[in-house]
């Protein structure tokens, strides 16, 4: 399964940059989104920015991902509780 996640560009110089990915700084290539600038939100996949996002879209996407993680954690706790 492939997943692209929102990240905020904190530094961008040409086709290379650094993005804040939910608290982690990662290198990102902006070749596919040449209009991306420092401060922009981008959708990131496999080290590439593939689309610009507005802040609302980025926050809404992280909220869905956080909810999904909470559900997975809840199911893990239930499974562990039911295991002998």
pTM: predicted TM-score of the whole model, two decimal places: 0.79
Q: What is the pLDDT of residue 9?
A: 97
Taking 80 as the threshold, does the pLDDT of residue 83 lie above it? Answer: no
* Closest alpha carbon to 65 in 43, 48, 36, 39: 43
Q: What is the pLDDT of residue 1?
A: 65
Based on the structure, what is the number of domains in the chain?
1
| Owning domain of residue 37 | 5-82
Residue 62 CA from chain centroid, whole number: 7
Residue 31's CATH number: 2.30.30.140
């Amino acid at each position: 399964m492939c997943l692209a996640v929102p990240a905020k560009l904190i530094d961008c110089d040409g086709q290379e940059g650094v993005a804040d990915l939910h608290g982690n700084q990662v290198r990102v290539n902006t070749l596919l989104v040449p209009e991306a600038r420092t401060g922009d939100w981008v959708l990131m996949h496999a080290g590439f920015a593939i689309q610009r996002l507005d802040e609302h879209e980025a926050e809404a996407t992280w909220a869905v991902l956080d909810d999904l993680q909470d559900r997975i954690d809840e199911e893990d706790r239930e499974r562990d509780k039911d295991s002998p």
